Structure 1
Amino acid sequence: MGIKACAAGFCCADVYQNIGVFYPTGNGIDWGIHLARMGVSVSAVSVVGKDEYGDKMREALAAEGLDISHLRVEDGDTSVMLMALKDGVDRVHLEAIDGVMETYRPNEDDRAFILEHDIIHTDLFGNCLDLLPEWHDAGKTVVMDFSVFSQDPEYACENHFPYVDYAFMSFEEDTPELRDWVRHVQELGPRVAVATLGEKGSIAYDGERFYECGIVPAEKVVNTVGAGDSYIAGFTKGVIDGLDIPACMKAGAELSSRVIGSFEPY
């Protein structure tokens, strides 16, 4: 049997009311769709509401080949991010509606199901943080997206780094201070700590050396939303395939380049 991946935690619907467009998203959902399209077996463990968006999300993810047996349906509204498209290009976040995600918690059946997978992806917003030690102790490969919050005291990320194998963070500049932070993160436990830098590429540290990777220029830029999630997916597929760190970074950059040239983030 092949590697099984699980996206556990946050999911939502991005809704563009001004142009009548909806798509399912969330850091792990985007990641999982990319991996599924590359032939990896992927499950989504999260929650949607008993509303139109919940039905559409389950339908869309099932169509992408994800196992949605643990994408629970609960009374209430699906988590929604209201978006707008400005001047046909710029995306504007208008309002976040937590819906059923606000009180979501993986139950015992969900927890057992997650542990059936080899690679687990989560983030800061899916109410799964207290499960990190459980996944780590079970020997699972944990991929976590800390986004722009890795240094934010509110999120106490230093409590989570020890239980993560591949820690991804987002920054704008490669500075000596950033490298000190990336080194510090890796020393707390991850096999590799990665900082994505937008149009300036990415850096990674594995405890021995830093690696650098530039971007792969896109033919056109339609949407930068989801660029980070796609980078993590490409990197993860490289890990699954046994590639070295530079090759994983390149795989992430290549996938990210393709994604920013399309409207949807996958």
Structure 2
Amino acid sequence: MTDVYTMGEALGVVSSGQVRHQTEARLDLCGPEFTLAVALARLGHRCAYLGKVGSDELGARVLTVLRGEGVDVADMRVSDGVPTGLLLRECRVGREPRVTHYRTGAAGSKLSPGNVPIDRIGAAGMLHVTGLTAALGRDPRDAVLAAVSAAKSAEVPISFTVEYRPELWPSVREAEEVLTELARQSHLLFVRQDELDLVKPALTAEREVVVLRGAKGASVRADRMRYDVPAPQTPVVDTCGADDAFVAGYISAALDGLTPPERLRRGTELSAAAISCASDWEGLPTRADL
């Protein structure tokens, strides 16, 4: 049985300083669902990943890493004639990195409802999806909705991370409609502080809502109680991937049957590991490390 089934777009990411002045860069992989799958697998959970990559070297690297980390890639698809998506991440002193997307028409945007294995999702312990995948186009959005529908029919708990990226949506209104609908379907909701208004109708008492507050830490409202945890105190190398790692840690602790404060604590531990490494996922801990 799969503990967590997830789906999304795994990407290449090139990180550097200001490109016009740089002669060196770092090539890695990223994607919120990709990071989550690796993190959960390292902690001993059985995780399956659905997505599409191109028949190129980046696509091969994605599959090699996922297989090497013990993630189930039986449902991964390789698309001929289209590239694996790429991000350019320019680090800037004292400011958030500038991210340029090279993913229009990439393999990840070709994910469709026909790729969604209804039976496998119905047999999973949890489905985890993000608003980022839903923003990639109509077919990926319908694929996410199909997966959510399959999980609901089988009474599989649904975890949803809002992951709002305004540059990927045609309009704020469309984003609000889709993200709120997905949030309403979820049992476990992860939302950044600045995304709360986007999904306000879904912030109801019966839903477990985790709010990611950046430097202020995180909080969760569960069973009509609120719990808080401060941000990790650790040397910062790169903050990208911190929220994705936190989500993975929280879900891992939930799968282990831990209390909400303990879930927050594990989320913070994985977030600390992520920000202390240049990679979104390479520094994530194993169960023994915890």
TM tier, smaller = 0.7 to 0.9
Give the aligned partner of residue 84 of structure 1. 90
Extract unaligned runs of 5+ from structure 1: none
Query: Which TM-score applies when normalising by structure 1?
Result: 0.86
In the alignment of these two chains, the number of paired residues is 257
Q: Which amino acid aligns with 2:39?
A: H
Tell me: CA distance 1:12–1:188, structure 2 relative to 1, closer, same or farther (3 Å): farther
Extract unaligned runs of 5+ from structure 2: 17-21, 134-139, 167-171, 282-290
Q: Which has the higher helix share?
A: 2
Q: Which amino acid aligns with 2:63?
A: R
Q: 1:96 aligned to 72, 91, 102, which one?
A: 102
Q: Spell out structure 1 runs of 4+ moving beyond 6 A.
A: 180-183
Q: Which amino acid aligns with 1:265?
A: D
Which deviates the most, 36-45 or 4-13? 4-13
Q: Structure 1 CA distance, aligned partners of 2:86 and 2:78?
A: 15
Tell me: CA distance 1:240–1:90, structure 2 relative to 1, closer, same or farther (3 Å): same
Q: Which amino acid aligns with 2:210?
A: V
| 1:81–1:93 CA contact under 8 A, matched in 2 | yes
Q: Structure 2 CA distance, aligned partners of 1:70 and 1:141?
A: 20
User: What SS class does the counterpart of residue 132 from structure 2 fall into?
Assistant: coil
Q: CA deviation at 1:149?
A: 6.4
Q: 1:169 aligned to 186, 191, 194, which one?
A: 191
Query: Which TM-score applies when normalising by structure 2?
Result: 0.79
Tell me: CA distance 1:8–1:224, structure 2 relative to 1, closer, same or farther (3 Å): same
Q: Which amino acid aligns with 1:82?
A: L
Q: CA deviation at 1:36?
A: 0.6
Q: Structure 1 CA distance, aligned partners of 2:91 and 2:265?
A: 30
Q: CA deviation at 1:84?
A: 3.2
Q: Which amino acid aligns with 2:202?
A: V
Give the aligned partner of residue 194 of structure 1. 210
Give the aligned partner of residue 36 of structure 2. 31
Q: Which amino acid aligns with 2:98?
A: V
Q: CA deviation at 1:52?
A: 1.1
Q: Structure 1 CA distance, aligned partners of 2:200 and 2:78?
A: 41
Give the aligned partner of residue 123 of structure 2. 116
Deviation digits for residues 227-256 of structure 1 (CA, Å, limit 9, x no counterpart): 100110110011011111111111111110
Which deviates the most, 124-133 or 55-64? 124-133
Q: CA deviation at 1:16?
A: 3.3
